[in-house]
């Protein structure tokens, strides 16, 4: 129940599918999005896949009166595609690029070219410090044989890590975006459990939209039904999550989605459905700021769940590490072959004896040069690929290291064993510290 002090906050999130010259009706759809946003009067708008600067500028111009504050996050080759529009002044912005994000040679998928990331903006809402996050994770192209699963798991891990570490001073946290994960997927569970963020769809009593909250539906004319298989009706991969604090309690009053069409138009806003959440902010009484403490059982349950989730995540990352090692090895082997052939050609060209031997069965000169050039190209490509997969490998290993550390800490907490207060002034040796979970 809203009190006289309570505030309302309307949040909008949409993956705009703004790939100019590729996405259908891109310019018209941005006009429709601009119209909707300036009319509907949302407080905070979180957009993904706004790739073109022209579209960003168009939206900034259109929304200059209703949403005077905005930030467009730049990253990768073509940008991060992330943008925030707000009625409230944006005081600070911070971007964290995910350490892995697909492969540049998978041009048909193209995720690598958009530097996928999580963007944060800080704003004051009614005297409360709000940290607003917008993100977009790597797409899933084939659920049965998902080559990008380790990358997406690492992105989800880094997303929760970033939110946990940067939201400490926040009174309220909102995260919106296209996670490219189903609600029960590992990354989603990890994100919710570790950050304590609550999903608007499961939290609200008043939902109006597609069946099961789907945001990618067969009814959308831009969607190819084949893409959705085996989920013919649709999938839920776009989310708005929220979390209050001791200073403010948050509730989701209602959530709605568009339903594959736009009134009075032949096509919808995007290939994704838009989410609109109506949040209620109830500032807590300063006298009773403590809130209800979490029971020991609840806490243990949450810790155990987190340990399981991190362990599951590590398994996926290890698969990724193995694949990256294989790919790096393959690049090294190809490069080695290219180099060997190139050296052989150089030897034939330079060493008199070899040249004479070659002259007995003359090697066509054109083919000789062509083969040499081909070897050089092969070597060049192999070097670039080797560098890329080495970076991928290091990033995956880094995520695995951080997960191992987190799992050890959680297990320690779960065991109820506490780190002895190191009263030891300098010189005292903390031999009583548990070294079993040390990192080596």
- Residue (of 84, 81, 171) closest to 128 by Cα position: 171
Q: Does 336 bind its own copies (CB under 8 A)?
A: no
**Minimum distance of its own copies from residue 61's CB (angstroms):** 7
Q: Does 72 bind its own copies (CB under 8 A)?
A: yes
Can residue 169 be called a binding residue for its own copies (CB under 8 A)?
Answer: yes
The widest CA-to-CA distance across the chain, in whole angstroms, is 99
Beta bridge partners of 256: 208, 276
Among 57, 64, 128, residue whose Cα is nearest residue 91 = 128
Token output for 249: 């309690």
State yes or no: residue 171 binds its own copies (CB under 8 A): no
* List 35, 38, 54, 69, residue binding its own copies (CB under 8 A): 69
Instruction: Tell me, yes or no, if 272 is annotated catalytic.
Output: yes
Which residue from 125, 154, 310, 342 is in contact with its own copies, where contact means CB under 8 A? Answer: 125
* Residues 80-119 interacting with its own copies (rule: CB under 8 A): 87-97, 99, 104, 115
**Binding residue (CB under 8 A) for its own copies from 22, 28, 41, 347:** 41
Among 218, 223, 348, 381, binds its own copies (CB under 8 A): 381
| Least gap, CB of 100 to its own copies (angstroms) | 11
Establish whether the linkage from the previous residue to 230 is cis, with ω within 30° of 0: yes
Could you tell me the CA-to-CA distances from 373 to 250, 333, 343, 366, 378 in Å, in that order?
Answer: 64, 18, 12, 11, 9
Residues in binding contact with its own copies, number by CB under 8 A: 89
Nearer to its own copies, 84 or 235 (CB): 84
Q: Which is nearer to its own copies, 43 or 271 (CB)?
A: 43
Q: Which of the residues 197 through 256 are near its own copies (CB under 8 A)?
A: none
Contact between 157 and 399 under an 8 Å Cβ cutoff? The reply is yes
What number of helices (H) and strands (E) belong to the chain?
Answer: 9, 15
Exposure string for 302-338, b = 16+ CB within 10 A, e = fewer: bbeebbebbeebbebbeebbebbbebbeebbebbeeb
Q: Which is nearer to its own copies, 77 or 340 (CB)?
A: 77
Residues between 251 and 280 that touch its own copies (CB under 8 A): 278
Q: Are 63 and 37 in contact (CB under 8 A)?
A: yes
**Residue 421 makes contact with its own copies by CB under 8 A:** yes
Q: 214, 272, 278, 389: which one is catalytic?
A: 272
Known catalytic residues? 272
């Amino acid at each position: 129940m809203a009190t006289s002090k309570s505030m309302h906050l309307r949040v909008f999130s949409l993956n705009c599918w703004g790939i100019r010259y590729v996405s259908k009706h891109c310019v018209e759809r941005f006009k429709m999005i601009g119209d909707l946003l300036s009319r509907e009067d949302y407080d905070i708008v979180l957009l993904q896949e706004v790739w073109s600067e022209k579209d960003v500028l168009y939206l900034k111009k259109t929304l200059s009166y209703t949403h005077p504050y905005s930030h467009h996050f730049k990253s990768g080759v073509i940008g991060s595609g992330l943008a925030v529009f707000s009625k409230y002044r944006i005081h600070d912005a911070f971007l964290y690029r995910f350490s892995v994000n697909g492969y540049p040679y998978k041009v048909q998928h193209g995720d690598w070219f958009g530097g996928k990331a999580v963007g944060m903006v800080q704003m004051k809402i009614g005297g409360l410090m709000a940290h607003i996050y917008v993100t977009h994770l790597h797409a899933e192209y084939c659920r049965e044989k998902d080559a990008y699963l380790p990358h997406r798991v690492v992105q989800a891990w880094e997303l929760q890590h970033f939110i946990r570490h940067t939201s400490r001073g926040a009174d309220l946290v909102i995260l919106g975006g296209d996670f490219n994960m189903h609600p029960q997927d590992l990354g989603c569970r990890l994100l919710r459990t570790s950050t304590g963020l609550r999903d608007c769809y499961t939290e609200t009593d008043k939902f109006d939209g597609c069946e099961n909250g789907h945001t990618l539906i067969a009814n959308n004319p831009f969607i190819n039904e084949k893409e959705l298989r085996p989920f013919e009706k649709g999938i839920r991969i776009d989310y708005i999550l929220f979390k209050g604090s001791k200073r403010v309690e948050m509730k989701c009053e209602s959530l709605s989605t568009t339903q594959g069409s736009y009134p009075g138009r032949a096509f919808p806003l995007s290939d994704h459905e838009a989410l609109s959440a109506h949040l209620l902010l109830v500032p807590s009484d300063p006298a009773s700021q403590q809130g209800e403490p979490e029971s020991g059982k609840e806490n243990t349950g949450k810790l155990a769940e987190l340990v399981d989730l991190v362990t599951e995540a590590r398994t996926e990352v290890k698969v990724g590490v193995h694949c990256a090692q294989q790919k790096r090895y393959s690049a090294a082997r190809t490069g080695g072959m290219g180099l060997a052939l190139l050296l052989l050609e150089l030897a034939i060209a330079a060493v008199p004896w070899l040249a004479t031997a070659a002259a007995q069965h003359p090697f066509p000169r054109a083919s000789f040069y062509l083969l040499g050039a081909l070897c050089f190209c092969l070597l060049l490509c192999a070097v670039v690929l080797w560098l890329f997969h080495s970076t991928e490998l290091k990033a995956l290993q880094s995520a695995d290291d951080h997960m191992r550390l987190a799992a050890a800490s959680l297990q320690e907490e779960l065991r109820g064993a506490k780190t002895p207060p190191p009263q030891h002034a300098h010189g005292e040796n903390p031999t009583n510290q548990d070294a079993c979970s040390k990192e080596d």
